[in-house]
Amino acid sequence: MSDLREEFQKLVDSGSPVGEVIAVQKFFVKVKGLHPISAQSIVLFEDGTRGYVRATNSEYVSIFTMSTVPVLVGTVVVKYSDQLTTSVGEELIGRVISPLGEPLDGKGPLRKLTQRPIFAVAPAIHEREALNELLETGVSTIDSLFPIVKGQRLALIGDMKGGKTTLAAQVGIHQKDTDTIVVYALIARRQGDIDELVTLLEKNGSLNSSIVIATTIFDSLVTSYLAPYVACAVAEYFWQDKDRDAVIVYDDLTSHAQIYREMSLVSGTNPGRDSYPGDIFYIHSSLLERAGKLQRNHRTLTALPIVLASGGDVTAFLPTNIISITDGQWILDAEIFKEGLRPAISTSLSVTRVGGRGHTSRQKDVAGRTLRAFSAYRQALEYSHFGAELSATSMNDLRIGTLLTSALNQLPGESYSLLAQQLLLELLLDSNEHTHLPEMGELKKKAESYAAKITAKSPYEDVLVSFKQLYGLKG
């Protein structure tokens, strides 16, 4: 803080525009003077506190302070910079930092960094390229049924304590053996949640390819509001400047929207639906539009925004907003979660609009057959509740549905290759009541071992025939 106070005096001595605080309401202050200055500029108060310019007019400048301690009326303010920037660089990999660039992991200061604006413009259409490369997650329900391609924006929606953060972490952990950088933006979370994620990443060896940018519920609302934009700028640095694929997890945009709502109401903005300001859609669409695939380097930035659906209501204002922006959504169902199934992805509500481009025609066929089998399973399950005698077809639907449900049940940390997933699903879909299958855990291991045999000389079809014959099925 003393360094910022010294910086304040240097800026005043150099002739930078200065002003005086004339009104204070929590973290929102009005300053007389400071002209010329524009919105999104950064100012410095004489006590070392930084501020973010919300708007300007001829009478005063509206500023949000980046501190939990309110400034006092009469405090002198000086212009610090024309735009808000963040520190970026290779040194951030494996670190936990605040949106202001301060280390939170006790691993020492960050030095060899450059600056990048956090409110960057999304790449234009002519700078982009069509998405077609599958982003493997190791999660069977996702990779086989609702795939995501690199550069896609796919929302993760569900009720509280439904496994949203854990699933997003699983996706990130699976990238540890690739060249992909995963950036986590944790917005106004409990310190315990942050520590839990960092511990999980360290345990699985993926922190060395990850960056965590976090704020707690005790941090300044303004700092938490800026967190996803800072995280996006960091991810863009690796994507656009270092030619590396990147994945960014926004956890979560519901907290971000609520923070922005409070900031807007305090600053006097007219409220709209659910008291959110009229530009709530814009702040999220402009953020998520920054993901995609660049034509010049063929690299991608994949966005995974997490959204809370209270009571499982995906038709609420914020979930529908995000759904209309993204290219699909994974819906986590609380009832499925209570049944002990992980991840609790609803196969009837989830959808991926462009993920199928990463599948081959055979993989698309398997996905279609699996989803139809689940639909028949749910129908047969409803019939069984009436206690009536079921037909042979319905009994078979129940059997296959039970097997598929068990096959797609994965605990955090479990990971399977896409080829192993395909072998297992095709085996179960083609099985009959006479097929003698081992316990599902053993069957998954066997599928993984057979998937490792697939080469140019031993194509998938040949290995599939051998795998089926192992359990008495014809290829």
- Residue 115, SS3? strand
Residues paired with residue 76 on neighbouring β-strands, in sequence order: 20
| b/e map 371-384, b = 16+ CB within 10 Å | bebbebbeebeeee
ω into 147 cis (within 30 of 0): no
User: Could you give the CA distance from residue 422 to residue 358 in angstroms, rounded to a whole number?
Assistant: 14
Task: Give the DSSP H/E element, type plus range, for residue 65.
Answer: strand 61-65
User: Could you give the CA distance from residue 22 to residue 43 in angstroms, rounded to a whole number?
Assistant: 15
- Residue 174, SS3? coil
Residue 454 and residue 460 in contact, taking contact as beta carbons nearer than 8 Å: yes
CA angle 85, 116, 84 (to 5 degrees): 15
Residue 20 and residue 54 in contact, taking contact as beta carbons nearer than 8 Å: no
Catalytic site includes residue 244? no
- Type of residue numbered 218: F
User: Could you give the CA distance from residue 183 to residue 230 in angstroms, rounded to a whole number?
Assistant: 10
76-81/18-25 β-pairing: antiparallel
Residue 69 and residue 13 in contact, taking contact as beta carbons nearer than 8 Å: no
Q: Point out the catalytic residue in the list 353, 362, 372, 378.
A: 353
Active-site residues: which are they?
353
